[in-house]
Structure 1
């Protein structure tokens, strides 16, 4: 159950960042960096688990951090393509 809540939370953060980056491109950098910093901390903590379990825990946080970065980048990129 915790796993599902974590996935839902990451999806919510990505959606909020996408909208924020589209509406306020400059102001979206700080929340994006904060989310990526928090996920990086989780990845480092998960990586301390022994053996393959540590790689598994770390990988999920790394992929979530990458998704947050891509979401913010996509919002700013879409804003740049707008004709106005």
Structure 2
């Protein structure tokens, strides 16, 4: 799972740099999928729910940051 999230972040950052407008849809899809995993994990009782949902929420945050970083890098480039 870790390798998959890292791969998705790299692909999204490159896509956001090359095609900023078209990168929104894949980013939202990835965040939606990770959010569903987080919601499912949080239904476990007690501290186990927080423990199971945390990897998905932090992965969703990483996907969002990588997409925005690619778009921000594109904005600062001088073409």
Higher helix share: 1
Q: Paired residue for 1:80, among 69, 75, 78?
A: 75
Runs of 4+ in 1 over 6 A off after TM superposition: none
Q: Paired residue for 1:54, among 30, 43, 49?
A: 49
Which residue matches 2:20? 25
Residues matched between the structures, number = 79
Q: Could you tell me the TM-score, scaled by structure 2's length?
A: 0.98
Over aligned residues, Cα RMSD in angstroms? 0.4
Q: Which moved more, 1:33-42 or 1:47-56?
A: 47-56
The runs of 5 or more residues in structure 2 that have no matched partner are none
Which residue matches 2:58? 63
Q: Deviations over 1:30-62 (max 9, x none)?
A: 000000000000000000111111101111111
Q: Could you tell me the TM-score, scaled by structure 1's length?
A: 0.92
